[in-house]
Amino acid sequence: MYSRILLAAVAVVVVVANAFLGPVSSQQTDCERSCGDIDIPFPFGLEEGCYHSKDQLVTCNRSSAGDPILFLNKSPIVIKNMVPADSTIRVMGDVAHDCNDNSPDQDIRNKAWLSLKNFWISDDNSFFAIGCQTDAYVIGRKKKDQVITGCVTTCDDNSSSGNTNGSCSGNGCCEMTFQKGLGYSKVMVSRNNTIPLKSCSHAFVVEKGGYNFLSTDLADFGKEEMPMLLVWAIGDKTCKEVDKGADDFLCKGDHQGCVEDYDGPGYRCHCKEGYAGNPYIKDNCANIDECKVGTHNCTEKQKCVDKEGDFACIGNELPIVQISIGTSVAGLFLLLLFTWIYLGLKRRKNLILREKFFKQNGGIMLQQRISGDGGSQIQAKLFTVEELEKATNNYDQSKIIGKGGFGTVYKGVLPDDIIVAIKKSKIVDQTQTQVDQFINEVIILSRINHRNVVKLIGCCLETEVPSLVYEFIPNGTLFDHLHGVSKYKAINWDIRLRIAIETAGALSYLHSAASVPIIHRDVKPMNILIDSSYVEKVADFGASRLIPMDQKELATMVQGTLGYLDPEYFHTSQLTEKSDVYSFGVVLVELLTGKKIIDFDRPEKERNLIKHFIAFLEKETLLEVLDEHLQLKEVPHDIILVSRLAQRCLHLKGDERPTMKEVALELEGISASMIDKHPWVKNTSNEEATEYLPNEPSESCEVTDDSNTGPTDFYSIIRKPKITPI
């Protein structure tokens, strides 16, 4: 870390000298192209005229071991190698540490900074956190969105016992893969200060295969840098946007071109198949002699003959002319045969493919579930591919109304002019867990008949990605109204109380009145839809579970949203109806305050809104934390009662929380009792302090139900830019 600071000082002269240098359209022929034993290929360079733009300036630090240093926005990075054919650079990234030793440099050590421009973290990297009771984050940016990704670890004690070498499932070590196109500015690591631990915690980005966890690393990690892979592009225009005739366009040559399937920002060059070289240098992609390098597939009885951009395998027993004639005749015969049978095969292929997707997407499982309960409760319609394509104009991008972790939602119009929302799942690895989750949502929604639960109309299983068809709710989500653009047209307290009552009633119905009890498992404002009359609809049952009548709890892989996730469920994996009660208590706090539950933009003591809210409630200074858009001068009695109800819902122990039925009845009672009473009553009671989850992660996080992860799992948040009201 300190060596980086010294290198940055050395870099000042270089930065100033090149401050006024613009893009270089062509490279000089007498440029130095190495630093020590590291090659520095174009578009990078060591001096003016040898690089494409100042973003590709490399400075060779000859005063030390000779490692080349790449300055990105004035940040020094040690380069290990550069591969222009893949648009990649292998560099050394800092390791962030947290030792809870209160040393003067601790605040510097627990962050690893790196500013990137036209460089991104390759998805061939992994993010690791090592230590006990450790929270680790990568804070970065993807296009215009800030992205926070990370994982958490736990340990039973401070020893290495129970930790398995090579395993990063959450016990002493956790691992997370990267999505494409992610740039980042810093790595952060922190620990649970309430637990006395002697060892340190560490977090870093490393190239896949570059690190294998050892249990001894918990006591002595000893590394300050790890190899990581960056990818880069030229400029800020894609292949479709750039002027390919411009002098500074680099992908020029008969055997090289622009990577069309790369969607930017910027563009990348590549050599065409059968050619190799530096695609960023004009006419540098040369023919590969597959016969010499041994990359052909000719047999021992055949002779490999190199061709421009290709090769041919020639049999020794036949002359080349005979082979050509025979190939032509056979090709003509196959063409005629294919034309003759094409129409029949096309229809059969489509039928087979649809049947394959139907089985792959759980169609057989759905039929078995329907026959298992007589089909009397499942009324969903099975739509054809053509019906949904027509409803969405072939899934036109303008029809998109929302995107989530498991798919995209389109607005569609059925033939009878009914407007619907069509949820099209993402193309992911087809695992039994994902199929079960999709069929689970169909079955659960088919069993529900409640005005405050989104209605399932049907589904389509005939395509590679299955789709669900819901009733269309036009007014967005509760999250949008509390935190989005519409928050400046703030909903008043009467509407908020009604939304709380309706949500509690819907959850009470799921727990108590449904034919089989249903636990939602992901109650949060983003899953509460609002219609044009501000009537709420509970949605997104992909994570929900049916509870057998003879059971009160169910052991599951932990899934939900951190910040809203029941701490008792998080630590025991025992899912109960009280898990939804905790999540609903968090929603009540959000309705009262109008603030996000966890927000990095707030001061550190206020980042966790739950603890902040409870503290103000118990000090009888509730007015200071309530939503300013409610325009209150005093705290009304009904708001005090709702706040106290939220406090009881947020008990650490599920047994101490009320049931959803009790919550719903109490909210209705609060609403009814205030009709004939004066609304401004100061609260003088001081209920007993309640125990709350300490040290929750400092940002709301999605915890995915993945069979390849441990009980702590991984989480990812995309935080949208702030919107200033007009």
- Of the candidates 522, 566, 627, 705, the residue annotated as catalytic is 522
How many C-beta atoms surround the C-beta of residue 432 within 10 A? Answer: 10
> Distance of CA 153 to CAs 134, 189, 203, 223, Å?
5, 11, 11, 19
3-state secondary structure of 105: coil
Q: How far is CA 381 from the centre of its chain?
A: 32
90, 79 contact by CB (below 8 A):
yes
Q: How far is CA 263 from the centre of its chain?
A: 18
Name all contacts of 151-158 with Cβ < 8 Å and 24+ positions apart.
151/127, 151/175, 151/176, 151/712, 151/713, 151/714, 151/715, 152/697, 152/712, 153/129, 153/201, 153/712, 154/712, 155/131, 155/218, 157/132, 158/132, 158/197, 158/198, 158/199
The amino acid at residue 507 is: L
CA proximity to 701, closest of 52, 136, 290, 10: 136
**713 catalytic residue (yes or no):** no
558, 711 contact by CB (below 8 A):
yes
252, 268 contact by CB (below 8 A):
no
Give residues with Cβ within 8 angstroms of 668, minimum separation 6. Answer: 501
Rg (CA), the chain: 30
473, 529 contact by CB (below 8 A):
yes
3-state secondary structure of 435: helix
Question: Is residue 326 left, alpha or beta, with left meaning phi > 0 and alpha meaning psi from -120 to 50?
Answer: alpha
Q: How many helices (H) and strands (E) does the chain have?
A: 14, 37
| Distance separating alpha carbons of residues 411 and 400, to the nearest angstrom | 6
User: Residue 309 is encoded by which pair of tokens?
Assistant: 């951009």
End-to-end CA distance of the chain: 44
Q: Which residues pair with 45 in a beta bridge?
A: 57
Q: What angle do CA 238, 93, 125 make, to 5 degrees?
A: 60
Q: Which residues pair with 112 in a beta bridge?
A: 187
Q: What angle do CA 65, 184, 137 make, to 5 degrees?
A: 105
How many C-beta atoms surround the C-beta of residue 284 within 10 A? Answer: 20
Q: Which residues pair with 545 in a beta bridge?
A: 519
List, by residue number, the catalytic residues. Answer: 522
